[in-house]
Amino acid sequence: MTAPGYVAAFEQQRPVILARLVEVRASLDHAIARWPAETAQAMFDKVLIGLQTLMATNDQALHRGFVRSFVALRGAEGLAPDHALRLLVAIGDVAIGVARAARADDSALPLAITYALRITARLVNEVTADELARRLAQRRQTEAWR
């Protein structure tokens, strides 16, 4: 099965998107602003690869694993899931802006990125709800032992 054309367009634009993300990282996240450019670029690239994989495969179970890991990593830095969600959406917004600037006559790539972001946001919310349900069950179990 051949990937849609917007996946190749995204791959082609990825270096430009990465450069722009590194350039504006301070406006995306105050913590990332303190990271070396190479560290920030590596994290941004992982997010872009996750979005690209979702656009190419539409495998939401695979993307859910990426989202769960991303939320957990941001959580390890003391940040709440809503912070991870805002960062993922901001990264996607930059990608959409670059795509629109590079291909003003073609709306397929911005629409594909928007679709991938919508799925990503939903999955962040689902992962967060799953974690809260797990903690609630744990609390109930602990209270039952008392």
pTM above 0.75, yes or no: yes
Question: pLDDT tens across 116-135, in order?
Answer: 999 999 999 999 999 888 88
Which of residues 111 and 31 earns the better pLDDT score? 111
* pLDDT(1) > 90: no
- Positive or negative, the CA dihedral 134, 140, 144, 146 is positive
pLDDT at res. 131: 87
* pLDDT(78) > 90: no
Distance (Å, whole) CA 21 – CA 11: 15
Give the closest residue to 91 by CA, choosing from 31, 145, 44.
Answer: 44
Q: Find out whether 32 and 43 touch, Cβ atoms under 8 Å.
A: yes
Question: pLDDT tens across 4-25, in order?
Answer: 889 999 999 999 999 999 999 9
Distance (Å, whole) CA 28 – CA 92: 11
pLDDT at res. 145: 85
Give the closest residue to 50 by CA, choosing from 138, 130, 113.
Answer: 113
